[in-house]
Amino acid sequence: MPRPEGREHADATHRRIPEDSPARQARAGVARTHVSARDDDAAPSQRAAGRPVSRTSSRVGGRPSHSGRIPQQSRNSQRYSPSASAGARPRRTGGASRGNGRGAQVDPAAAPYQDHDRYMRIAQKPERPGRRLAGVLAGVGLVAVVIIGVVLFVQSLPANVTLNGASVEVHGGKTLGDALSASGIKPQPGDLLAVDGSVLEAGKGEPFDATVNGEKVTELDAKLASGDVVEIGNGGPIEEPSDSVETTIPWTVAQEGNGAIHLVEGEGKDGVKATKTGKVSGITAEQVVQEPSNIVRRNVSPDVGDDKVIALTFDDGPWGEQTGQVLDVLAEHGAKATFFTVGNRIEQDNGDAFIKRAVSEGHQVCTHSYDHAAGSGQGVNLGFMTPEEQKAEVEKGRAAIEAVTGTEASRIFRTPGGNFGDDVVKNIGPLIKAEIGWNIDSSDWRRPGAGAIANQIEDAWPGAIVLMHDGGGDRSQTIEALKLALPRLKDQGYRFITIDELLQYPLS
């Protein structure tokens, strides 16, 4: 039977290498090593099958080894090499020669050493990554155990708190209830009350009243920490459940004092009243849920001290040349006054010119309404008018002044007839700063004669407000009375100032 071509090539190679050459001996040694490794791997299966394990004969490359022959090294190397088992070709050496024309051959002298290195790399497996991860996890677990132990130890320590001014050591769960137990304090519960305040059941109210660091606490299981400041006392009452119906409490005007200057303070706001019927007692009672916010009309007087000052006021103008003549007398005596004008009078009889002159000479111009409460006000009382009409009287009167002066009009106001009742205060109070009355009525509107009018003016005292008129009819007596009274008052040391200047003094 003819030999396979590969074996003839191997025999030819063997014959070319002498028996005692180093390469021949090295190749034989590697082959024996591979055989021994295979025998060791096969021994357990052979023993299990009852066959003797032979170490003098073995298979190399799947064929029986022949005594006196060197196994086919190139094939065996491929079987044991990781690259050969994957179908890769043997790596060529740098000086490989072409044999019989069938391709480059592995250097016979270097092959045993290359196979041995490959085998050793297979045998020496690296450490698995899973083992390193297990070690890391074990370390983390140990740290966690230590931390948990520290936390449990800290939690087992008592909390030192201040309870009603005394130091208390709190154990257990360190709750408010534990603190009470440690202190011995026993707060008394409040009562359950009916809607009218009577006691329905004693001890059925709040069990205690407590704060921790100023914050109200209602549960005994509230946690405490060292350093907490706890205040605890008896519980408060609880009102019985009830059905409630709420109604409005209208705000009113409260009056204080008796002065001629009427300051309007505050903002009117309705309150709320609840009518309750107790579901336990059946009792019905009223309770104020929210107090009304009332407007206060403070009637004050200026405290001028030793200053001899008088406030002269003139109503119902401007009134043609009469207003001009009043301005002439005031200018002659260096007196300042306040003119309470009627809006529609500014718009006629050259009224705007007199307003401009009065302002330019240092007098104060305020509104006395737009048409002196004409129509529903019967020409004398804003209180007869609707709330909207009352507001319009103030707003239109100020607008007439602003149209002439080009500046914001004063919020000082005088009502027609001096009628400044509660209803008027409610309606126009938010629109004004003060309503100005008077201390002395010159009664010039009666036309009692210049002398009588002058006597009234001369009865003034420091801080007094004098009422006169420059409009509303013939005011010739008023003009003559001014010519008599002003020089006499000046001789007594009096000065004549505006309302704004008077308001600079303390008011009480």
Check residue 353 and report its DSSP letter: H
Computed over every residue of the chain, the mean pLDDT equals 82
CA separation for the pair 282, 328 (Å, rounded) = 78
- Torsion-angle region of 41 (φ positive above 0: left; ψ -120 to 50: alpha; else: beta): alpha
CA separation for the pair 115, 31 (Å, rounded) = 10
Residue with tokens 């004004």: 432
**Confidence band for 144, pLDDT divided at 50, 70 and 90:** confident
pLDDT in tens, 335-376: 999 999 999 999 998 999 999 999 999 999 999 999 999 999
Answer whether residue 508 shows pLDDT above 90.
yes
Please report which residue ranges of 1-110 form alpha helices under DSSP H.
5-16, 22-49, 73-80, 82-85
Q: Which residues neighbour 205 within 8 Å (Cβ) at sequence distance 6 or greater?
A: 189, 190, 191, 192, 193, 235, 236, 237, 238
The pLDDT value recorded for residue 57 is 38
pLDDT in tens, 78-122: 444 444 334 444 444 444 444 444 444 445 554 555 555 555 555
The pLDDT value recorded for residue 417 is 95
CA separation for the pair 129, 231 (Å, rounded) = 61
Q: What distances in angstroms separate CA 348 from CA 270, 322, 365, 400, one per listed residue?
A: 43, 14, 17, 11
Q: Which residues neighbour 449 within 8 Å (Cβ) at sequence distance 6 or greater?
A: 477
CA separation for the pair 38, 482 (Å, rounded) = 146
**Confidence band for 69, pLDDT divided at 50, 70 and 90:** very low
The pLDDT value recorded for residue 37 is 44
Annotated active-site positions, please? 315, 469
CA separation for the pair 138, 21 (Å, rounded) = 57
The pLDDT value recorded for residue 139 is 77
CA separation for the pair 183, 180 (Å, rounded) = 5
CA separation for the pair 56, 301 (Å, rounded) = 139
pLDDT in tens, 371-399: 999 999 999 999 999 999 999 999 999 99
- Structural domains in the chain, CATH included, are 1-39+70-84+106-119 (no CATH), 159-239 (3.10.20.30), 243-254+266-297 (no CATH), 301-502 (3.20.20.370)
Q: Cα–Cα–Cα angle for 400, 403, 408, nearest 5°? A: 90
